[in-house]
């Protein structure tokens, strides 16, 4: 079938499109990206609780692993430099600095609730 000049598609365009469709599944999967805010909150609480109630630290370490979602050290390092992480960490630091020492262990009784994005 002869197509008018305007409707002809060069063969390399067709080949490129077909290869793109078949090669897409071979592209590397994107690494899971944890929530920077949740990571900042959880790590700030871990740091605080490790000081005031060392028995609570293992629960928070498990929570950090859960929030990190198996991300690489490089991804976690970048998240820790993010504005969301730093703001969340600072907010928790500010909050726990105001907690009376008699109530300090209460803060560490339960890990923080999961964010909506992690449920």
> Do residues 33 and 75 touch, judged by C-beta distance below 8 A?
yes
- pLDDT, position 21: 45
**CA-based nearest residue to 42, from 23, 20, 19, 67:** 67
- pLDDT, position 24: 46
How far apart, in whole angstroms, are the C-alpha atoms of residue 31 and residue 69? 10
- Average pLDDT for residues 4-24, to the nearest whole number? 48
Q: How confident is the model at residue 118 (pLDDT cuts 50, 70, 90)?
A: very low
Please report which residue ranges of 28-114 form alpha helices under DSSP H: 36-52, 57-68, 73-80, 83-97, 104-107
Residue-range domain boundaries for the chain: 36-118
Query: Cα angle vertex 50, ends 98, 103, to 5°?
Result: 35
Burial label, 111 (beta-carbon count in 10 A; 0-12, 13-18, 19+):
buried
How far apart, in whole angstroms, are the C-alpha atoms of residue 26 and residue 38? 32
CA distances from 40 to 2, 10, 16, 60 (A): 63, 52, 44, 12
pLDDT in tens, 77-86: 999 999 999 9
Q: What percent of the chain stands above pLDDT 70?
A: 65
């Amino acid at each position: 079938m002869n197509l008018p000049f305007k409707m002809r598609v060069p063969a390399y365009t067709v080949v490129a499109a077909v290869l793109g469709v078949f090669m897409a599944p071979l592209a590397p999967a994107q690494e899971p990206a944890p929530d920077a805010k949740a990571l900042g909150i959880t790590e700030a609480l871990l740091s605080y609780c490790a000081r005031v109630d060392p028995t609570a630290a293992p629960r928070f370490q498990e929570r950090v692993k859960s929030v990190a979602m198996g991300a690489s050290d490089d991804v976690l390092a970048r998240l820790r430099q993010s504005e969301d992480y730093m703001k969340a960490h600072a907010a928790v630091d500010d909050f726990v600095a105001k907690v009376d020492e008699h109530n300090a262990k209460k803060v560490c009784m339960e890990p923080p609730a999961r964010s909506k994005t992690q449920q």
